[in-house]
A = this chain, B = another copy of it.
Amino acid sequence: MNISILSIGDEILSGDTVNTNSAWISQKITRLGFNVVNQVTCQDNKKEIISSIKFLLSFSPDYIIMTGGLGPTQDDITRKVIFDFFNVQEIFDEEYWQELVLKYKMLDKDVLDSNRSQAVIPSIGEVLPNPFGSARGYSFKKNTTKFFILPGVPSEMKGIMNETILLELKNIVIKPLLKKLIRTTGYAESVLAYKIKKITDLDHGCKIGYYPSVYGVDIRISSTSSSLLEKLFIGIQNILGDICFSHTKTPIEHLIVKKLSLMNKTISIAESCTGGLLGHRITNIPMASKVFNGGLITYSNKSKSRLLGIPKDLIDDHGAVSEIVAGKMSEEVRRRFETDYGISITGIAGPGGGTKEKPVGTVFIGISDNNSTKVSRYMFGKDREKNKLKTSQAAFDMLRLSI
């Protein structure tokens, strides 16, 4: 089954926006076993949109998914062009309009006349509900090709895809490509590849991909045969063991919050160089309040002494970025917030502040509980933002292996 994707939007053609929509859609539908034959991006004008649709139709795909151009402002003309192309009339959906008016009222916002365009529906075809916005999608059929027309705002496009289109497509495919995910952190792609080489060198009949990011390396394997896939998966898993932290896309902080919650344990954190990132990531998880009491961002040395009670002498003698200070921070924050675990981070995020002994990227992470305090030293790169992200991931990984 073949699918084409058409993105409409000058912001993509000018390069101001990277076309992540096409990648997201492609990934989702490829996993269902569909074949994306082409992706086209065109300008938000009638001639270009029509030519692009005709070009895509020349391949007779089973589906064409279009995104972009359904917003309320004047640069969004897609709907009109599409309705003309499919030769359907505009109908004003009074009921939906009243819903919109109410929704805006509840958000304490004025609904404007320009929003009325979002209540317009076609006389034939389907309307696709938008769970995260006011611009709904449409669906039409032309010969053997079914069209889905979606807004370009990523969250809204994804909402409609997840709640309508992917459910429909899931029911169609007979032999989907099966995939497994092995998520790791703390090891380079080449090291992981070397570790599992003796298995991957065999004729395993699967496809293997390595996807490194700042959070670690994801290993993705795929095959249409579930037995071959399972065999390779178990083989890799047996070698990597604890290095793998998950087999789903769920972020590591989610796994930790869930586990702590089941254990009925609480944590608190004392962050220096990450500046609040660890707390931010924990509190992205809805049930965080069950396990996370709070934290201290002790960015200045003075705040480390005054608010966290780290003796000034200790900082003077060993430096704020040191094993002993990290350990003490984790103990003190645990005591102050009365939690089961205390986590601490102190490091040099860069670009300045490095020394020969402790270059930029040096980080100490401490974890203390009722029995003991552990501190590990890490060395990350020179990029400040990546450094913070890698540090937070390492802290979560250390915590994962401690609880």
A288 touching B275 in the complex, CB below 8 Å, given contacts A16-B209, A388-B283: yes
Say yes or no: B38 contacts A40, CB within 8 Å.
yes
Q: Which residues does chain B contribute within 8 Å of A336, judged by CB atoms?
A: 306-307
Say yes or no: A11 contacts B193, CB within 8 Å.
no
Say yes or no: A15 contacts B30, CB within 8 Å.
yes
Taking the complex as formed, is A238 at the interface, i.e. its CB lies under 8 A from any CB of chain B? no
A194 touching B114 in the complex, CB below 8 Å, given contacts A297-B296, A307-B294: yes
Q: Which residues does chain B contribute within 8 Å of A209, judged by CB atoms?
A: 10-11, 16, 75
Say yes or no: A15 contacts B40, CB within 8 Å.
no
Taking the complex as formed, is A300 at the interface, i.e. its CB lies under 8 A from any CB of chain B? yes
What is the bound-complex CA distance between A190 and B43, given in angstroms? 21
- Distance to closest chain B CB from A356 (angstroms): 12
Say yes or no: B384 contacts A284, CB within 8 Å.
yes
Q: Which residues does chain B contribute within 8 Å of A109, judged by CB atoms?
A: 188, 191
What is the bound-complex CA distance between A397 and B156, given in angstroms? 25
Say yes or no: A14 contacts B27, CB within 8 Å.
yes
In-complex Cβ contact of A286 among B269, B294, B351, B379 (8 A): B351
Closest B residue, CB atoms, query A30 = B14
In-complex Cβ contact of A114 among B193, B279, B351 (8 A): B193
Say yes or no: B275 contacts A282, CB within 8 Å.
yes
Stretch in A50-58, A166-174, A364-372 touching the partner: A50-58
What is the bound-complex CA distance between A114 and B190, given in angstroms? 7
What is the bound-complex CA distance between A131 and B184, given in angstroms? 25
Residues 133-165 of chain A, each 1 if its beta carbon lies under 8 Å from chain B, else 0: 000000000000000000001010000000000
Say yes or no: B280 contacts A277, CB within 8 Å.
yes
What is the bound-complex CA distance between A211 and B154, given in angstroms? 12
Closest B residue, CB atoms, query A71 = B189
Say yes or no: B13 contacts A39, CB within 8 Å.
yes
Say yes or no: A299 contacts B307, CB within 8 Å.
no
Taking the complex as formed, is A276 at the interface, i.e. its CB lies under 8 A from any CB of chain B? yes
Copies per assembly: 2
Taking the complex as formed, is A85 at the interface, i.e. its CB lies under 8 A from any CB of chain B? no
Q: Which residues does chain B contribute within 8 Å of A52, judged by CB atoms?
A: 38
Say yes or no: A26 contacts B14, CB within 8 Å.
yes
Residues 34-51 of chain A, each 1 if its beta carbon lies under 8 Å from chain B, else 0: 001111111100001001
Taking the complex as formed, is A331 at the interface, i.e. its CB lies under 8 A from any CB of chain B? no
Q: Which residues does chain B contribute within 8 Å of A260, judged by CB atoms?
A: none
What is the bound-complex CA distance between A352 and B190, given in angstroms? 43
Stretch in A17-25, A90-98, A322-330 touching the partner: A17-25
Residues 322-344 of chain A, each 1 if its beta carbon lies under 8 Å from chain B, else 0: 00000000000000111000000
- Distance to closest chain B CB from A111 (angstroms): 8
What is the bound-complex CA distance between A75 and B336, given in angstroms? 50
Closest B residue, CB atoms, query A307 = B336
What is the bound-complex CA distance between A301 and B72, given in angstroms? 42
- Distance to closest chain B CB from A20 (angstroms): 6
A297 touching B295 in the complex, CB below 8 Å, given contacts A14-B26, A22-B19: yes
Residues 88-113 of chain A, each 1 if its beta carbon lies under 8 Å from chain B, else 0: 00000000000000000001111010
Q: Which residues does chain B contribute within 8 Å of A19, judged by CB atoms?
A: 18-19, 22-23, 39
A279 touching B284 in the complex, CB below 8 Å, given contacts A13-B39, A20-B18, A110-B191: no
Closest B residue, CB atoms, query A308 = B294
Q: Which residues does chain B contribute within 8 Å of A289, judged by CB atoms?
A: 299-300
Taking the complex as formed, is A132 at the interface, i.e. its CB lies under 8 A from any CB of chain B? yes
Q: Which residues does chain B contribute within 8 Å of A294, judged by CB atoms?
A: 296-300, 303, 307
Taking the complex as formed, is A400 at the interface, i.e. its CB lies under 8 A from any CB of chain B? no
What is the bound-complex CA distance between A275 and B296, given in angstroms? 10
Taking the complex as formed, is A126 at the interface, i.e. its CB lies under 8 A from any CB of chain B? no
